Amino acid sequence: MKQVELLAPAKNLETGMAAINYGADAIYIGAPKFGARSAASNTLEDIGELIKYAHKYWAKVFITMNTILYDNELKEAEELIHQLYKLGADALIVQDMGILEMNLPPIELHASTQTHNYDLERIKFLEQVGFKRIILARELSLDQIKEIRKNTSVELEYFIHGALCVSLSGQCYFSHAIGGRSANRGECSQACRMKYDLVDGEGKVIAKDKHLLSLKDLNLSGHMKELVESGICSLKIEGRLKDSSYLKNVTSYYRKELDDVFEKKKEFRKASSGTVKPNFEPDLEKTFNRGFTNYFFSGRIPEIANFHTPKSLGKEIGKIVAVRNDHFIIDTKFEIHNGDGLCFFNRNKLLKGIQVNGVKGKLIFPNEMNMLVAGAVLYRNNDHEFAKTLKKDNSTRRISTELLLEFKENILTLIATDEDGISASVQLKEEFELARNTEMAITNFKTQLSKSGDSIYSIHTIETNFTEAPFVQAKVLNELRRKVLDSLTENRVAAFQQPKTQALISHPKYHTKNLNYMGNVVNCKAEDFYHKCGVEKIEKGFELQSDYKGKTLMTTKHCLRHEFGMCNKEFSTDKKANQPLYLVDNKNRYKLEFHCQRCEMKIIFE
């Protein structure tokens, strides 16, 4: 059977444990330094705790060290990698090729999506280098994934949910150019979420003050079967800055979707142990989202961006029918509660938010009445009752276990065997009295032993093996059960430890002898790596340069010609479709270049 992994993000220990509790097969979490989310770093102590917790379920913990490194950081990064290895980290997610030239422990290496894993040629190169897994670009379609799978044997990981970077990952220099905050250093200022004007070569404004680069959020929940069949081994949820409530909802939703696929396709199975039955109905629209898109998974589609707002819309719930002095009337099939946060677009297409202070049937009394418009579509971006439910819910992921109680020659033996076939046993020898009623004694044994308490186990069946039952006090049975389950956990963790082998890093020939700044080389070890791969000339990375004029700040599949009906390939033969276009903010003007053969748009610093 093929294992398929549900991979969830973790901002910290709390969110990591929540993701595991609600069904993740693996977690990715930031190291103390050098992760692509500088606001989501963690102590070694917390990482160690998360690893211990995850391994009980045979879930894995991957550490993100996927920034580019400066020369003065190489030694510290190498020491940190060794510390993470000693903690039991299952893999390291990296971007900087300089790491490959370090004295590494035998830890599994994953090529971050930041290594620009878009072209088959690049992916085959990284496979030959020695990466165990490659995290594919979000822009890839299902057909492209299948083609990559057909031509490679390396493990493939792919994003299925969450925020989208509008630029090809690892190829965005916008944030650094305008504010000195490098996306490749984990400090992205999200320039793509800002407002811009779209202007043509004659100065005509095509769009004014719009979030022209702000993509909707990815949602491939309707494509789980296709993804599983495509050969992807790990399905990844984005969100290392999200809270526990978000992780509970989104992880449990995708856990159910995947399990439904596995139920029908027996050749696939989940990659860790245990099941969880949350006390709520997961709903992706009820937690943070900017509206959803499947991006390029099924080919290019319209409206992958939301030009009006980069904020969360939540779930569409109905329309405003009429507006009165202190309330409005809503047409909805959903129940509205005090404390709900609602939003809508006003006549100027600006997103406005209100809070519900009172509800009387279809009459909604908000905290303010400004800008309310009859006919406006309403969204609920804060479902107050759902949020309370998520916060209170502490569902526990349980591993199904069978118990066998044996009694022979005054020795009481309790054997536990879990769903993975791992066993443990404990014995108690003493002079037991025999129970007067064997049948009643067995009933009492099963009642007492079935109470697994706050352990990670659920007792599925209890069998007994004796003809005469001993008399055993409840507290003795409880202690036997506690000991055997503790021993089972130790055996599970021991069985999960895979033999570590040193990654065989090689230096295959790179496809070009000249590497420009988009190679993201900012340290001497990365230079050494590419030189060994046959590269002769290496331009310094963007972060080491001072003159950005004429340089590409972003390469994206999101195309503004296409979005505004000016695509040469699909919409227009008008010569005006070929005239220059520019993005303009309150400080700069950026030229747009369109590479129609690759269906890409570039943003150039002027």
Sorted by where each begins, the domain ranges of the chain are 2-164+216-286, 313-392, 399-496
Contact between 415 and 38 under an 8 Å Cβ cutoff? The reply is: no
CB atoms within 10 A of CB 412: 20
Q: Strand 196-200's sheet: what is its strand order?
A: 205-210, 196-200, 581-584, 589-595, 600-605, 552-556
CATH 3.40.930.10, applies to 2-164+216-286: no
- Per-residue CA distances from 600 to 215, 477, 481, 567, 595 (Å): 15, 67, 61, 11, 5
- Per-residue CA distances from 487 to 169, 416, 423 (Å): 45, 9, 9
- Per-residue CA distances from 233 to 6, 348, 393 (Å): 9, 45, 30
The Cα–Cα gap between 220 and 16 comes to: 22
Kindly state the tokens that stand for 510. 């790179």
Query: Closest Cα to residue 452, out of 504, 510, 401, 387?
Result: 401
Q: What is the pLDDT of residue 497?
A: 80
Q: What is the pLDDT of residue 112?
A: 97
Contact between 594 and 552 under an 8 Å Cβ cutoff? The reply is: no
Instruction: Out of 2.40.10.170, 3.40.462.10, 3.40.395.10, 2.60.40.10, select the CATH number for domain 313-392.
Output: 2.40.10.170
- Per-residue CA distances from 169 to 139, 411, 552 (Å): 9, 63, 14
The Cα–Cα gap between 311 and 217 comes to: 11
Phi, psi of 339, deg, nearest 5: 95, -10
Question: What's this model's pTM, rounded to 2 decimal places?
Answer: 0.95
Query: Closest Cα to residue 91, out of 28, 34, 149?
Result: 28
The rounded average pLDDT for each run of 10 residues, N- to C-terminus, in the chain (606 residues) is: 96 96 97 79 94 97 96 97 96 97 95 96 97 97 97 98 96 94 93 96 94 97 97 96 96 98 96 95 96 96 93 96 95 96 91 95 92 93 96 94 94 96 95 88 91 92 91 91 96 86 87 96 98 97 95 96 83 64 94 92 95
Burial classification of residue 23, based on how many CB atoms lie within 10 Å of its CB (0-12 exposed, 13-18 middle, 19 or more buried):
buried
Q: Which residues contact 330 (CB under 8 A, 6 or more apart)?
A: 317, 318, 319, 320, 321, 336, 362, 364, 378
Q: What is the pLDDT of residue 576?
A: 57
2-10 and 234-237: which strand pairing? parallel
Q: What is the pLDDT of residue 575?
A: 55
Kindly state the tokens that stand for 188. 């992205």
Phi, psi of 575, deg, nearest 5: -60, -25
